[in-house]
Amino acid sequence: MWFPPLPVVIPLIVAASLVAIGAYLPRRVLDLVACATAASVFAICCHLVAASADQPIVYWFGGWRPEHRFALGICFVIDQAGAGLAALVSLLVLAAFLFSWQYFESVKSLYHALMLVFLAGMCGMCLTGDLFNLFVWFELMSASGVALCGYKSEEFGPLQGALNFAILNTLGAYLSLTGVAIVYASVGALNFAQASASLAAHDPGGWLVPIAFLFVISGFLVKAAAFPFHFWLADAHAVAPTPVCILFSGVMVELGLYAAARVYWSVFAIPLAAHSSVTGALFLTIGTLTVIVGGIECFSQRHLKRLLAFSTISHTGVMFLGVGLLSADGLGGTAIYLLGHGLVKGGLFICAGILLHRFRSVDEFELHGKGRELPWTGLLLLLGALGLAGMPPFATFFGEGQLADSARRHGLGWVSGVMMLSGILTSAAVLRIGGRIFLGWGLRRPFDSDEAPAIPMESETHGGHRNTPGTMWLPALALIAGAMAVALAPSVRIAALRAAHRMEDTRGVTDHVLLGTPMAAVPEVHIAPALGELWKPAVNVACAALLALAALFPRALGRARRAVVHAIERAIHPLRAMHTGRVGDYVAWFILGVGVYGAMLVFGYRR
Amino acid sequence: MRHPGRMGIFFTGAAAVAALYALSAIRLPGPEDVRGEYMRIINGECVTFRHVTDAVTAVNFDFRGFDTLGEEFILFVSVMGTLVLLRQTDAKPGAWAPDALSPGRAVGASDALRVWILAMTGPTVLFGIYTVIHGQLTPGGGFQGGVILATAPLLLYLAESFDVFRRITSHRYLEIVEAVGAGAYGVIGLLALFRGREFMANIFHLGKGGNDINLFSGGTIPVINAAVGIEVTAGFVLLLYAFLQEMLERKEAGS
């Protein structure tokens, strides 16, 4: 069995080689090596998806197999959910490398090396079956992410964004590590399967398990930009180089969510089984708040990258809602949605990068009407907006349909309303900014506003280029087309549901890992009927278009204008006031958030 | 946000988190009741099956060696990230740099101190190497010894000048050495695959017979340990180099 360690090991070794000899290689060789590495990791991950269709692959590093259900070493437990996510990760890394082919004028081997280490960390997170190992790859991802975020650190802005990123994520990681330590001190195990079995067999009592769970996932919640841990994300996205943003928004944030869900289903689901309604309520609360806050903030941005960052926050909220259903079909819907969102968001960030490449700005008002020269980029942006709104044939449509179906069957119909809100607000924001940039609609200057916090975008690219190279628009086209095509075949949706069933079968996985017992066959899965849901994207897009038009042409609102604008501003103001850019404030909100969510668990579990 | 508001939010949250921690900690097993199965098994296995006496090193580089690969690369990218983030040009002029800091001059140590430091540099290097290569036998190893080794050039900087420090810690080579140290870990792990074993399997000669424990016993453990020592030494010297360079530039910008 050759393949399981390679998605992590190959990028690490290539990264080290690039640091060693990269200074002596021409730029194009660096690009080629990096692209080839990402492509081969993608191929290996696809192979792993196929190979784990029947049974999850359990790979014991160093050959330290468990004896008497006791794990001495570390294992990868590769199921289709993890391997599929790793495939998405490597695909987006490949797109990012292609995009940066012509994008950065001056970039050294350090960039390629950091991106490859980033890739290795993310793949490790997807595949691991060990609590501490998960933490290690999580940290590796964070450390390389911070460095990439501040890559243009000749300016003050990137440094600030990177520092906020580093501080918030390090704090979250401390809490995660505390949680891991509590689990280890309590049962003496780090392996997912062994910890789960031991916690279930010897319940430590009290609130130890729920609190350990909350601590472990806190770091992942920071990464997933859950409310109120999300503040760093927009700052980081606004300053990070565009190819890095593709990965931050497309997969890194989602990996935080994945890690939280993975840890829940692999370790805590059985010990917390009696209280699953409380755990579900926690995720649903987080999801709802995140959807609303992210959506409103998204609509109130004028900086395209920040806008897309907030849209990611809102969509992560949708995925939290899916996880919060705590059911296999909910999880499967989340997986489909995640796939669609990652591809769409990657494509949208490339569009933003094309604008930066051509005009050296991503500011809505600065670019007013300038996008007329770029009709195809405008079309991609429009398609992306439709993808965010959950329009068929985008995978987000099928994912949302699956989630809504699952929510209805759990008696949580309101969840699909919240999900629609996310689609409406985020696609309205993209439609509005697109209308202003690519059609020249609306005002040239912000309405009723005298502040102009234009964020200078220097040095990433010289801007003012005459044309858009194929290495830029092709990846964007491929990602958006991929988002449309990927879930069209029912077999993909069925595979996602089956993968979710496998991920949720905690007992089956535990025995498979510790004893080698084959897992029971996945029960027949039913994909939600998609056609009955067609009214939803129609409503989403109609509302989004209306909202975008109202924002573009506020005069058309006539006399009601002042009242409407005031009402909106009053709603938005407290949210924007929270977003101060000062890391001390973010830390305060983080601690308060952990405290409040912890109180929810403690009081909920007593009942 | 105004200061009192932030403090209020922070301390409310911190009190809640502290309460949560206390609630979970009181349920942990007491001191007589440690969940130590792993400890007992490792202590039994590392001497018999791995020919090493430092169980910590055995866990780090063998039983859970895959974790340490990740940790080594965390150090690797942290160093690179620091170098990236320190490249800022709008450095504020000499707000902090100590007075005696300038490229060509000694820091201002007295002759007695300089003699003492110069005398200690050799033993420091020796002690660092000792700590690295005895990693699998006594407490220590590549991480610890590497940090000790990295302090030796710093001693020279204190006694002599930044120029001396720069001469013996040329930047370009250091990056290469660091990368080789980090990459070697992955390559040693990969070698096992060619032998048909799992990644990170200990495929080198462990030692002759029952209790043969020496500097070379332990198979891949001393080799990986040495690679880590090289990587950590180079990484920390790079960091010191970057920070000193940064301070000097600020000093120059200020004067």
CB atoms within 10 A of CB A515: 12
* Least confident residue range of A115-129, A295-309, A528-542: A528-542
Segment B148-163 mean pLDDT: 86
Alpha helices in A300-394 (DSSP H): 304-324, 328-359, 375-388
Segment A102-120 mean pLDDT: 84
CA A245 to chain centre: 11
Question: What's the confidence (pLDDT) of residue B86?
Answer: 78
| B199/A contact by beta carbon, under 8 A | yes
Helix (H), strand (E) at residue A77:
strand A75-78
Predicted confidence band at A464 (pLDDT cuts at 50, 70, 90)? low
- Residues A191-237 have pLDDT tens digits of 999 999 999 888 888 889 999 999 999 999 999 999 889 988 888 88
Nearest CA in chain A to B59: A73
Q: Residue A33 in 3-state DSSP?
A: helix
Check CB contact under 8 Å for A596 and B13: yes
Predicted confidence band at A116 (pLDDT cuts at 50, 70, 90)? very high
Sign of the Cα torsion B48, B52, B54, B57 reads negative
Question: What's the confidence (pLDDT) of residue A450?
Answer: 44
Indicate if the pLDDT at residue B172 is higher than 80: no
Chain A closest CA to B118's CA: distance in Å? 32
Question: What's the confidence (pLDDT) of residue A77?
Answer: 94
Question: What's the confidence (pLDDT) of residue B96?
Answer: 41
- Which of residues 109 through 168 in chain B touch A, CB cutoff 8 A? none
Chain B closest CA to A349's CA: distance in Å? 23
Percent of chain A surpassing pLDDT 70: 94
Secondary structure (H, E, C), A480-508: HHHHHHCCCCHHHHHHHHHHHHHHHCHHH
Predicted confidence band at A459 (pLDDT cuts at 50, 70, 90)? very low
B143-149 long-range contacts, CB within 8 A, separation 24+:
B143/B228, B143/B229, B143/B232, B145/B229, B145/B232, B145/B233, B146/B228, B146/B229, B146/B230, B146/B231, B146/B232, B146/B233, B146/B235, B146/B236, B147/B232, B147/B233, B147/B236, B148/B124, B149/B124, B149/B125, B149/B229, B149/B232, B149/B233
b/e A198-234 (16+ beta carbons within 10 angstroms → b): bbbeeebebbbbbbbbbbbbbbbbbbbbbbbbbbbbb
Indicate if the pLDDT at residue B104 is higher than 60: no
Q: Which of A294, A484, A529 is nearest to A390 (CA)?
A: A484
Tokens representing residue A420 in the block: 């629609």
Q: If you average pLDDT over every residue of chain A, what do you get?
A: 88
| B65/A contact by beta carbon, under 8 A | yes
- Best of A592, A602, A603, A606 to disrupt the B interface (most B CBs within 10 Å) is A592
Question: What's the confidence (pLDDT) of residue A565?
Answer: 73
Percent of chain B surpassing pLDDT 70: 87
- Which of residues 117 through 136 in chain A touch B, CB cutoff 8 A? 117, 120-121, 124, 132-133, 136
Predicted confidence band at B100 (pLDDT cuts at 50, 70, 90)? very low
Percent of chain A surpassing pLDDT 90: 54
Q: Which of B37, B64, B175 sits opposite A74 (nearest CB)?
A: B64
Sign of the Cα torsion A439, A441, A444, A445 reads negative
pTM of the model: 0.93
Sign of the Cα torsion B95, B99, B103, B107 reads negative
Question: What's the confidence (pLDDT) of residue A369?
Answer: 83
Segment A529-551 mean pLDDT: 84
Question: What's the confidence (pLDDT) of residue A571?
Answer: 76
Whole-complex ipTM: 0.92
Predicted confidence band at B87 (pLDDT cuts at 50, 70, 90)? low
**Residues paired with residue A77 on neighbouring β-strands, in sequence order:** A58
Higher-confidence residue: B249 or A402? A402
Cis? peptide before A228, omega within 30° of 0: yes
Secondary structure (H, E, C), A34-52: HHHHHHHHHHHHHHHHHHC
Sign of the Cα torsion A455, A461, A466, A468 reads negative
Q: Which of A32-41, A101-110, B137-146 has the highest mean pLDDT?
A: A32-41
Question: What's the confidence (pLDDT) of residue B91?
Answer: 45
Segment A363-370 mean pLDDT: 83
Check CB contact under 8 Å for A139 and B74: yes
Alpha-carbon gap, residue B249 to B241, rounded angstroms: 12
B118-124 long-range contacts, CB within 8 A, separation 24+:
B118/B156, B118/B159, B120/B155, B121/B152, B121/B155, B121/B156, B121/B159, B124/B148, B124/B149, B124/B151, B124/B152, B124/B155
Block residue for tokens 């430092």? B54
Indicate if the pLDDT at residue A413 is higher than 70: yes
Check CB contact under 8 Å for B12 and A599: no
End-to-end CA distance of chain A: 48
User: What is the widest separation between alpha-carbon atoms in chain A?
Assistant: 76
**Residues paired with residue A70 on neighbouring β-strands, in sequence order:** A67
Segment A110-118 mean pLDDT: 93
Indicate if the pLDDT at residue B185 is higher than 90: yes
Question: What's the confidence (pLDDT) of residue A452?
Answer: 44
